[in-house]
Amino acid sequence: MKKIYIEFVSILSITVYLLSGCSMNRDYSEQKLFFDTIITINIYNIDDKAVMEDCLILCETYEKMFSKTIEGSDVWNINHAQGEWVEVSEDTVELLREAVGYSKLTDGVFDITIAPLTQLWNVKDNPGKLPSQEDIKKAKSHIDYRLIEIDGNKVRLKDKKAQIDLGGIAKGFIADKLGDFILSRGVNSAMINLGGNIKVIGSKVDGSDWNIGIQKPFADRNEVIGSVKVKDKTVVSSGIYERYFEYEGKIYHHIIDKTTGAPSESDLEGVSIIGESSTTADFLSTTCILLGSEKGMELIENTEGVEAVFVKRDGSVTKSSGALLKKVFE
């Protein structure tokens, strides 16, 4: 009997060990459709899969706040309030204040009230039809970031026909919020990819840097012009190759210049920004395309803590003078 008892205890001990192994650290990866793109979140070496589940809940929550097309979102409510005050979330106020600040910084080159023009061009679903100059002129008359008023947690647009489009900054803001959340849960290694907005937490599990490729415009997704090694950074890329249609041999893309009322015709085809804030990098990537290579690089060199890679329409590549980029694109 004693021998049987010892064997039973041994089996029980093994069972407990195996059950405890179920809570050992694991890697989690999810790919979902949010923010009109495929997002991928990878979280490494954690013992709680609820971290990933909560990340996806956050993505859904932010989409329902910032989308201009989802009825009932904060942005939808502001856009359809006919100039009346709308109560919104603290996150929406935070993002709007940041966006307005960037608009002031660039004298309105970056402007989230661009929605009348983005809707008019409708690049995503446009079969190849150009809007009339008359319609462009009308849309331009309702674009001015100074139309946005914020009072506590209430927001309104002073022009009833003005509308907000956060497409040039929202994914960066969301990536930062996801990164903060993941860090708060004790995660030391993760990668967030919100369709061109990449944010990495820490380093790889083995301690090495992440290697992030810089997309070659109008090429296959796996074709890059180079890569940058980073940890605890964000790499945000924007370009005229992301969403566009062709008409009579000319490309019309989604980055609209409010001064002309048409897609930007600057000399830049693609911009990648490397920094710590994904919100800032998102704003910069869009703004630099609007500004062009000369003024865009001037903005980068005068912005602390960021570096940039520019791909011009002629295929040439230029980069900022930061130390991080001296290691690549040589």
| Strands 210-215 vs 197-202: parallel, antiparallel or unpaired | unpaired
Residues 296 and 267: beta-carbon distance below 8 Å: no
User: Residue type at 303?
Assistant: T
- Find where tokens 């002629």 sit: 314
**Residue 281: which residues within 8 A CB-CB, separation 6 or more?**
172, 197, 234, 235, 236, 273, 274, 275, 306
Dihedral sign for Cα 50, 56, 59, 65, please: negative
Range of the domain at 304: 209-330
Mean pLDDT of 186-208: 95
Decide if 79 is inside a domain: no
Mean pLDDT of 270-291: 97
Instruction: Using the predicted structure, report yes or no on whether residue 12 has a pLDDT greater than 60.
Output: no
Decide if 172 is inside a domain: no
Decide if 279 is inside a domain: yes
In angstroms, the Cα distances linking 130 to 67, 120, 239, 248, 295 are 25, 9, 20, 11, 28
Decide if 283 is inside a domain: yes
Running DSSP on this structure, what letter comes out for residue 11?
H
Identify which of 66, 88, 262, 245 has the alpha carbon closest to the alpha carbon of residue 168.
66
Report the number of distinct structural domains present in the chain. Answer: 1
Q: What percentage of the chain carries pLDDT values higher than 70?
A: 90
- The enclosing domain of 267 has a CATH number of 3.10.520.10
Q: Which of 114-118, 177-181, 245-249, 290-294 has the lowest mean pLDDT?
A: 245-249
Cα distance between residue 123 and residue 29, in whole Å? 31
Decide if 278 is inside a domain: yes
Instruction: Using the predicted structure, report yes or no on whether residue 325 has a pLDDT greater than 80.
Output: no
Residues 110 and 84: beta-carbon distance below 8 Å: no
Count of Cβ atoms closer than 10 Å to residue 232 Cβ: 14
Decide if 216 is inside a domain: yes
Q: Provide the token pair at 99.
A: 């966006």
Mean pLDDT of 300-304: 94
Decide if 133 is inside a domain: no
Q: Would you mind telling me the total number of residues written for the chain in this entry?
A: 330
Cα Rg of the chain, angstroms: 23
Cα distance between residue 244 and residue 196, in whole Å? 16
Instruction: Using the predicted structure, report yes or no on whether residue 3 has a pLDDT greater than 50.
Output: no
- Find where tokens 């590549």 sit: 317
Residues 158 and 125: beta-carbon distance below 8 Å: no
The three-class DSSP label of residue 122 is: coil
